[in-house]
Amino acid sequence: MSRKISIAIVLGVLVGLLGFGAWTVLLKPSGLPPEGFARGNGRIEADLVDISPRLAGRVAEITVHEGDLVAAGDVLVVMDTAELRAQLARADAAVASAEAAVGVAAAHVAEARARLALAQSQQSRAETLSVRNVVSREDLDIRRTETQLAEAALTAAEATQRAQERSVEAESAARAEIAARIADSTLYAGGPARVLYRLAQGGEIVGSGGKVLTLVSLENVYMEFFLPADEAPRLRVGDDGRNVAESSVSITARLSSSPQAQFTPKQVETLTERESLMFRVRVRIPPELVAARIDQVKTGVRGVAWVRLALDDGSLPEWPEGLTPPLAPVSPAAGPNPVLP
């Protein structure tokens, strides 16, 4: 019996040592990563979006506060549009006046056509009677002149009508411009984000492009770190990566940008200088994973990013245990977020 207990104790110690060794190789911050993998320290980050009006004006209302979560299409800021609406009313009146002028011009065209038809009829009768010597040559010339005047009057009336129609188009374009300014006075969220800073208050006057809010976009959440020059060429853009945040839970990510050299000497002349090159690498957390736990997403959380390096035969190693989380996002009703702190 004592022998069996001793064997069980030995086996337990061996399993513990093996588990500790696996943890040390895979997840422990110190020490070297296993063959075919690289890692670097970083923070969960996201793009910042400034919300600014296109035109200078007074802030009528800010509908959100710092820390609020917003979705695409949510109203964030409403600028005062009293002056613009007065201009829009004046533009509406100008459009109506121009349309009325088109109606008057069209009536003049109809009148000119009627006068031309009468003049042509009188000229035709005069020419017939002139052949019979009933109408003098002078009367015939008068009828012909009246026809020419009627034709010129019709041409002028048609030109006036076209000018009035162009005037309607110009006034309508001016009205559309004012309406666009009014539409631009309401600022919306372009995508899921969290309000980071509120830089103005209701009633303040801000200039064109002046910042009212700063948002943390949740459409592009990522972690950046740096790799030495001998490892960067072995990366494959688009390959899976892993983010291990402070909670020590692995997050599926993707290598989304080409490595970029950093800390580069002005002239790379020696082997030592080449070896000192570092490359910036970004691994991006999939949007569907962020969306599944969007209420718990926080930027600034520190962690470690893992990437795979191509082996000598060009293949990529399999992710070891501890760095293979489920790829499917967790349902929002599943309770506390296990992947995004």
Residue 211 within any structural domain of the chain: yes
Confidence (pLDDT) at 2: 59
- DSSP calls for 159-171: HHHHHHHHHHHHH
User: Do residue 210 and residue 303 come from a single domain?
Assistant: yes
Residue 21 within any structural domain of the chain: no
Residue 76 within any structural domain of the chain: no
User: Which residues have C-beta within 8 Å of that of residue 338, sequence separation ≥ 6?
Assistant: 249, 330
Confidence (pLDDT) at 341: 28
Q: Which of 254, 245, 220, 340 is nearest to 302 (CA)?
A: 245
Residue 22 within any structural domain of the chain: no
Confidence (pLDDT) at 256: 57
Task: State whether residue 222 is helix, strand or coil.
Answer: strand
User: Do residue 107 and residue 175 come from a single domain?
Assistant: yes
Confidence (pLDDT) at 176: 96
Confidence (pLDDT) at 22: 53
User: Do residue 58 and residue 87 come from a single domain?
Assistant: no
Q: Which residues of the chain have pLDDT under 70?
A: 1-32, 243-276, 295-296, 322-341
**Domain region containing 324:** 32-66+204-334
pLDDT tens-digit series, residues 10-58? 566 555 655 555 545 555 444 567 777 887 788 888 889 999 999 999 9
Q: Which of 224, 251, 240 is nearest to 318 (CA)?
A: 240
User: Do residue 50 and residue 103 come from a single domain?
Assistant: no
Residue 105 within any structural domain of the chain: yes
User: Do residue 62 and residue 136 come from a single domain?
Assistant: no
Confidence (pLDDT) at 338: 31
User: Do residue 167 and residue 238 come from a single domain?
Assistant: no
Number of domains within the chain: 2
Confidence (pLDDT) at 252: 55
Confidence (pLDDT) at 253: 62
* 194 DSSP β-pair partners: 69, 216
User: End of a domain among 183, 213, 233?
Assistant: 183
